[in-house]
Structure formats: C-alpha cells, structure tokens
Amino acid sequence: MRIPAVAAALLVSAAPLLAPAGAEAVEGLWKRTISYQDKRDLFYNFYEGPDPSGATAGMYVSPRPVPPHVGHTYTTYQPFMPHEYLYHHHRSHYTYNPCAGWTRAKVRYNTHGLWLDHWWHSLKEEVCCH
C-alpha cells in the first residue's frame, strides 16, 4: 500500500511539468499556430529598432506610416508576404466577419524535398534547351 502512495505523491509533485504553464507559454510549440493577424494588418509593416543607437529599419518598403488620407501601397493578402516563404511552417488565419461568422485560411509553407524542382529540371533537359 505504500508504493501507490509514493507514486501518487510523485505524480502530484510532477504536475507543474505535465500541465502547461499558460497558453502563451506553450504557444508556438504547437504544430499549427493560429495567426494573430486580421484584416487591419494589411496596412501594417514590420519594424526593427530603435535600439541604443537610435537607428530603425522597416522590413518592407510599404506601407509607410502615413496619415489616413495619404495613399499607400500594401500587400493585399498576408499569406503571400515574402517573409512567410523563408521557413517551413504552417499557419491558420482566422477572421471574424460580423453577422457572418468566422472564416479560416489554412496555409502550409514547405518544399516537399524540392521534388518539383527536380522534376522541372529533368523535364527541361528532355524537351528544350538542347
């Protein structure tokens, strides 16, 4: 009877390890990350700085932080933003449309081992460029 008691005590002491510390702590460790972007982010850029030096940098040339009456250019669809193609990941974009419910866009960024590149390269050698 003593062994189950010891096991139960160990389980209780290990509970902080088994349970997540919080939703924000384990986020990003999941396979698919829910994006925080929404439609308002279409007109947003990404920035770095100023650090101690005071210099800043914008990731894209547009949109710039301008007054609302000034025209600007922007990427019209967040999943096509070039920085998303830099690494292998999955993302789901959720958007709430008033009176219409939620819509979801699932995006997967991967190369499948570049099999398409190999296939295209071999095709080029057969049909053209000789």
Binding site for other proteins (CB under 8 A): 2, 6, 9-10, 13-14, 16-17, 21, 24-25, 27-28, 33, 35-37, 41, 44-57, 59, 65, 83, 86-87, 91
CB of 58 to other proteins, least distance (A): 8
- What DSSP designation does 94 have? E
Q: Which is nearer to other proteins, 24 or 125 (CB)?
A: 24
Q: Which is nearer to other proteins, 69 or 88 (CB)?
A: 88
Torsions phi, psi for 128 (to 5 deg): -150, 180
CB of 122 to other proteins, least distance (A): 28
Nearest to 61 by CA among 75, 76, 51: 75
CA dist 57 → 5, 6, 46, 51, 86 (Å): 59, 57, 9, 11, 19
